[in-house]
Amino acid sequence: MNQNILIVDDNIDFCSTLAEIVRSQGWKPVMQHSPEDAIAYLEKNANSISLMFLDIEFGDRSRMTGLDMLAHTVKHFFTIPVVMISGKGTIETAVTATKIGAVNFIEKSILAQDKIIDVLKSASESIGNKTKNTELVRFLEEQGIIGTSPQILEVGNKILNYARTDLNVLVTGETGTGKKLVARAIHAASRRSKSLFVTVDIPNIPREIFQSELYGHVRGAFTGAMDNKKGLFHQATKGTLFLDEIGDLSPELQANLLLPIEEKTIRKVGSVEAEKIDVRFVSATDKDLIGAIKEAKFREQLYHRLRECEIYIPPLRQRREDIPHIIEYYTKVHNAEFEQTKAFSPSTVEYLKNREWNGNIRELYSSLRVALQTIMKNDIEISDLHLALSHTSSLYSEPTQNVADQNPMVFSTERSLKEDLSLVDKMKIESTLKVNNGNVSKTAAMLNVSRETLHNKIRRYEINVQQYRK
């Protein structure tokens, strides 16, 4: 556990006094006497700092005030809690510091030893709780699952617990919550991780070739079967087969999954020989399968076979405290890829945190991606987000309308021709998917492109095909 406390104050005597109190409580004090020096220190040592005491005023020797330093810390070192200290504190300054992101504001005139010890104990408890979950949070982040909220930590614990078994797992949650990421995480933490994770994209497999795709076929099994073919079950041998959008599988095709799941045997189309398979099943859906069972749209027997364990992923609105972490993570990924230094201001992060994300993580990522790639500024403010959010929010708030009609293309001198053409391309695909009720094959035919090309574009533009299906 990190035990370092950073003290930033130009009063050397006060720094020494505060450092002695910090040291008496088992912490290691680190002293810097200007915001510039403190920032330089954090650039190299941020991971070792558990808490910062930061003065407000630094005199003429520094170009920055304590509030400037606070804003910089909140933006670039989000995980470090900051306690502001001041000899000239006012209510207005305290309010400003709190709005920027300070966890506490203390006047030097009343900064008694007991008060400092209380602050340190509070920090110690918080850090202790974080430490218990450090490895779990790190594992989840490696899988692209970002957050430290109790809800997401519960999801993480279930992932690790179920991954140790060979039980079939059903992953449920609203569209865009990250069900496939959870499925991949289960595979990554399991004994099967060295073998393949194979996805069955159920809505986009034509029913007439469903069996062939999953089980394979023998030569001559049907017209066009020129050679023997292995199916997705064969590809997933000793690995994990992920049945994505299982709730969209028609009742007649559901029967084809019972034998492989129950007895771990399959027969290639056209063959009379049964083959043993060693596959772990993970499924995902945003549908109400219990309701579907009552309406005779989903087989109860299949439901119980697939749902030996269940992981429910809460929507983003139920874990808003994770949104700043998600923003920070995605921004770091973007900056590393494009060699940039972009950042969202604290007020912008707060705005995004309180915004409705009906499309959950997928919608948030899409908005961040557009904003970071189209806003030609390093420091992104709320006013800069309008264009970036107007398109993505319309997709999730009014999915039954023609996106191109309700959100006409707005060309911008801040974007390249390639970027504008990509937006036009995306809108054309979305409007055509709407006309065809989300049928990818019909949409590809209408756009005069192959299904593979269209699937690549759908992935590239992060289009949610499901929302166009009635």
User: Which tokens sit at 259?
Assistant: 């034998």
**Average pLDDT of 16-39?**
90
pLDDT digits (tens, 9 = 90+) for 336-383: 999 999 999 888 898 899 888 989 999 999 999 989 998 888 999 888
pLDDT value at position 140?
A: 94
113 and 164: one domain? no
Q: Looking at per-residue confidence, does 171 or 210 come out higher? A: 171
pLDDT digits (tens, 9 = 90+) for 275-334: 888 999 999 999 999 999 999 999 999 999 999 999 999 999 999 999 999 999 999 999
Work out how many domains the chain is built from and give that number.
Answer: 3
Q: Looking at per-residue confidence, does 46 or 195 come out higher? A: 195
146 and 39: one domain? no
CATH number at residue 294: 3.40.50.300
pLDDT tier, 396 (very low <50, low <70, confident <90, very high otherwise): low
189 and 158: one domain? yes
Residue 404 pLDDT > 70: no
Residue 292 to residue 306: CA distance in whole angstroms:
15
CATH number at residue 69: 3.40.50.2300
Q: What is the DSSP string of 307-358?
A: -SEEEEPPPGGG-GGGHHHHHHHHHHHHHHHHT---EE-HHHHHHHHHS--T
What does pTM read for this prediction? 0.60
9 and 109: one domain? yes
The residue segments making up the domain with residue 410 are 316-468
User: Which tokens sit at 195?
Assistant: 């073998």
Residue 18 to residue 51: CA distance in whole angstroms:
13
Residue 267 to residue 191: CA distance in whole angstroms:
26
378 and 417: one domain? yes
150 and 219: one domain? yes
Residue 335 to residue 344: CA distance in whole angstroms:
12
Per-residue CA distances from 131 to 95, 119, 120, 163 (Å): 30, 18, 16, 22
